[in-house]
A = this chain, B = another copy of it.
């Protein structure tokens, strides 16, 4: 249903404009949220706005992996018990949080800050690919000195769409000369997925890449 816009107050209209600029928030929801905030105590609203302003003003990024951090080194990169010779390359901060929540990964990360997308005007130079190549080069150099027992690895944990594949292929070409193992996430049926509803591409790949049954 269309909502005609005759706001009783310019202040209200400007707040609705601002709130509805958020992704997924329409003008109706924005009005609801603005009127909700109006009913809150002044100090709560100030806390709300200052939390957001401080996040934007004071946020820092880890100098190694470009993850959001309160410091110039994130908690993961600072953790010496983690495997610093395995780098998981992801698109965004959320991906790091998702993978951390699995509890299955003990290496470090590299946040690209986006994905190569000619349609959205995002090229490799808009991402942190150069920083990744420098890390891989440094790791390869250290390897040569240390005669370590395992080969360093870069996991390309990017989405399975065209843009993700393009980005993975671009990065692969940039780092393949350094003698690191390059892997990508396993693709296949999700746990609990019904065969009947799987798309053909996923089902096909999960047959080709079938795994030894370990009950």
Residues in B with CB closer than 8 Å to A79 are none
Residues in B with CB closer than 8 Å to A49 are 49-50, 52-53
**How close is A41's CB to chain B, nearest CB, in angstroms?**
9
Question: Cα distance A29–B33 when bound, in Å?
Answer: 14
Q: Is A19 at the interface (CB under 8 A from chain B)?
A: yes
Q: Is the CB of A55 within 8 A of B37?
A: yes
Total copies of this chain within the assembly: 2
Question: Cα distance A57–B50 when bound, in Å?
Answer: 14
Q: CB < 8 Å: which of B42, B54, B60, B92 contacts A56? A: B42
Q: Is the CB of B18 within 8 A of A38?
A: no
Interface stretch of the complex, out of A3-11, A171-179, A199-207: A3-11
Q: Is the CB of B14 within 8 A of A54?
A: yes
Q: Is the CB of B15 within 8 A of A38?
A: no
Residues in B with CB closer than 8 Å to A12 are 55, 59, 68
Q: Is the CB of A32 within 8 A of B69?
A: no
Q: Is the CB of B57 within 8 A of A42?
A: yes
Residues in B with CB closer than 8 Å to A92 are 35
Q: Is A47 at the interface (CB under 8 A from chain B)?
A: yes
Question: Cα distance A4–B18 when bound, in Å?
Answer: 30
Question: Cα distance A12–B53 when bound, in Å?
Answer: 11
Q: CB < 8 Å: which of B9, B10, B21 contacts A48? A: B21
Question: Cα distance A101–B31 when bound, in Å?
Answer: 15
Name the CB-closest residue of B to A54.
Answer: B11
Q: CB < 8 Å: which of B52, B74, B93 contacts A15? A: B52
Q: Is A190 at the interface (CB under 8 A from chain B)?
A: no
8 interchain residue pairs of minimum CB distance: A49-B49, A18-B51, A15-B55, A45-B56, A49-B53, A18-B48, A11-B55, A4-B101
